[in-house]
Amino acid sequence: NFVYFLKGLNFIADRIKEKFGCEDVLITPGDSDVDETVKSLMGKEAASYLRSFLKNGDIVAVTGGTTMAQVPKGMPRLEGYEDVVVVAARGGLGEKVEIQANTIAAELAERLGARYRLLYVPDNLGPEAMESITSEPRIKEVLSLIKRADVVIHGIGRAEEMARRRGLDESVIKKILKNGAVAEAFGYYFDSEGRVVFTTTSAGLSVNDLKNVRKVISVAGGAKKAPAIRAFLKYHCPTALITDEGAARKLIELE
Ligand code: BG6
């Protein structure tokens, strides 16, 4: 599109693709740090990217967050996906219900005319409680579905902000930051080289599983998030990065 061309966003997208090896990089104009509506543009972009390859029968795992919350909103009502199952990729954060993975899974399924399964496992449980809850047959079934996901769509956050949002103790937050964490995704914390430096106890998809997933779509923007996006891309290069101009420009500046 014209705005895209005018702003040289194609050029920036190619640079990011080359640098990190993602198959596709899609950049929406604007910066979601200063304009919240840019998140809805990213949501629309992610939704149309998903539609471009989604097959009936696919299992789609999603995470939460304010950016991911825009993905179902950007999806028109569709038919022909009744055998798609949408599921939360990880246990709950205890955040506002609108931005929880379970809510996003249900909303996305509704738009697709698909089915959904909810994951009722809170984050940060002690090892015993986690063990006992994840051995429940109904929970086990959902966890095995997640492990077989064909598509994963997820957000990326800044380490400190996410550690606070996830309600970690101040001492733990200090430790995570001391270990150099700059990014968070799926409850994993990464340093600027893309090394995992801390993991929260949570059930569901592990970042290790990403390499076996057919399509991984990362959705994150805002100039402030660029170091976090960079760190995650160093850990795993997704099939597609859906981002905004603010983050994209900063990303190539960081190189
Ligand atoms: C969370 C995801 O819910 O959203 C995280 O589980 C991600 O992995 C975060 O980092 C991003 O949130 P937001 O609101 O910045 O899109």
Residue 235's pLDDT is 97
Does residue 184 have its Cβ closer than 6 Å to ligand 1? yes
Please give the number of the atom of ligand 1 that sits closest to the Cα of 162.
10
- DSSP codes of every residue in 164-225: HHTT--HHHHHHHHHTTEEEEETTEEEETTS-EEEE----B--GGGGGG-SEEEEE---GGG
Let me know: does 84 contact 110? Beta carbons within 8 Å. no
- 222 C-beta closer than 6 A to ligand 1: no
Identify the three-state secondary structure at position 57. Answer: coil
pTM: 0.96
What does the alpha-carbon distance between residue 59 and residue 63 come to, in Å, rounded to a whole number?
Answer: 14
Q: Is the CB of 66 under 6 A from ligand 1?
A: yes
- pLDDT of the chain, 255 residues: tens digit per residue: 566 666 689 999 999 999 999 999 999 999 999 999 999 999 999 999 999 999 999 999 999 999 999 999 999 999 999 999 999 999 876 778 899 999 999 999 999 999 999 999 987 788 899 999 999 999 999 999 999 999 999 999 999 999 999 888 999 999 999 999 999 999 999 999 999 999 988 889 999 999 999 999 999 999 999 999 999 999 999 999 999 999 999 999 997
Give the ipTM. Answer: 0.96
Pick the closest to residue 190 from 224, 139, 228, 152 (CA basis). 228
Q: Residues 78, 40: contact at Cβ < 8 Å?
A: no
221 lines ligand 1 (CB under 6 A): no
Which pLDDT score, from 0 to 100, does residue 6 have? 66
Give, using CA atoms, the residue closest to atom 12 of ligand 1: 65
Q: Relative to the CA of 158, which ligand 1 atom is closest?
A: 10
What is the chain's length? 255
DSSP E strand stretches across the chain: 24-28, 59-62, 85-88, 115-117, 151-155, 157-158, 181-185, 188-191, 196-199, 215-219, 240-244
